[in-house]
């Protein structure tokens, strides 16, 4: 029977010489590799002092965006939750009340918006599915935590601060 690939190699079954029994060639080969690596550029980065350059297509922590007037862009359409293959996003919609026009852009808004970062696979489908550009993946990491409930981010954690509130402070 013929093999499917040509990767098979014949096994050398001749007896080992005295030098091979002492493993000297293997030791010298390993030492040569180690000596060669001494003169190469180090790949280690001293993290706090140096920051690693990221790819321009890096996808990090999810953020909920606001418009130019500081109103929330999310209309709780649910397309991000439907597009999420890991089912990490949950949301509840609510109707805007009279007098809340300065808070929400549309008549419907997300009263509850949660993302479970332990389930999120940072695929970016939520960002692509959002018709209002309310969701985007930033260039920051999800911070570490010691408890599982710390990885469930609510709307207040994900929403960008209000630009008009920051100017007064």
Which one has a higher pLDDT value, 141 or 93? 93
* Claim: this prediction has a pTM higher than 0.75: no
Quote the mean pLDDT of the chain: 87
User: What is the C-alpha radius of gyration for the chain, rounded to an integer number of angstroms?
Assistant: 28
Q: Where is average pLDDT lowest: 52-56, 89-93, 111-115?
A: 52-56
Q: Is 83:123 a contact under the CB 8 Å cutoff?
A: no
Is 20 a known ligand-binding residue? no
Residue 80, marked binder:
yes
Residue reference for tokens 């999420």? 84
Tens-digit pLDDT profile for residues 106-164: 889 999 999 999 999 999 999 999 999 999 899 888 788 889 999 999 999 999 887 66
**Domain 62-163 annotated CATH 3.90.550.10:** no
User: Dihedral sign, CA of 12, 17, 19, 23?
Assistant: positive
Quick one: pLDDT at residue 169? 45
Q: How confident is the model at residue 18 (pLDDT cuts 50, 70, 90)?
A: confident
- Residue 123 annotated as binding site: yes
The answer on pLDDT for 1 being more than 90 is no
77 annotated binding-site participant: yes
Residue 106 makes CB contacts below 8 A (sequence gap 6+) with 75, 96
Contacts 24+ apart (CB under 8 A), 64-67: 64/113, 64/134, 64/135, 64/155, 64/158, 64/159, 64/160, 65/133, 65/134, 65/135, 65/136, 65/160, 66/159, 66/160, 66/162, 66/163, 67/105
Q: Is 83 annotated as a binding residue?
A: no
Residue that wins the pLDDT comparison between 163 and 97: 97
Is residue 130 marked as binding?
yes
Length of the chain: 169
Q: What is the pLDDT of residue 164?
A: 65
pLDDT, residue 168, reads 46
Q: Is 17 annotated as a binding residue?
A: no
């Amino acid at each position: 029977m013929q093999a499917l690939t040509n990767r098979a190699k014949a096994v050398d079954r001749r007896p080992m010489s005295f030098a091979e029994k002492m493993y000297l060639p293997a030791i010298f080969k390993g030492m040569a590799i180690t000596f060669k690596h001494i003169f190469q550029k180090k790949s280690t980065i001293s993290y706090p002092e140096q920051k690693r350059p990221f790819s321009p297509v890096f996808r990090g922590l999810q953020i909920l965006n606001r418009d130019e007037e500081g109103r929330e862009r999310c209309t709780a359409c649910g397309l991000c939750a439907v597009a999420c293959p890991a089912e990490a996003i949950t949301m509840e919609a609510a109707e805007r009340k009279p007098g809340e026009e300065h808070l929400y852009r549309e008549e419907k808004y997300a009263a509850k918006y949660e993302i479970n970062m332990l389930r999120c696979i940072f695929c970016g489908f939520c960002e692509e599915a959002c018709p209002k550009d309310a969701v985007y993946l930033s260039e920051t990491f999800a911070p570490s935590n010691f408890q599982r409930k710390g990885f469930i981010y609510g709307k207040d954690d994900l929403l960008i601060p209000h630009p008009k509130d920051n100017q007064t402070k």
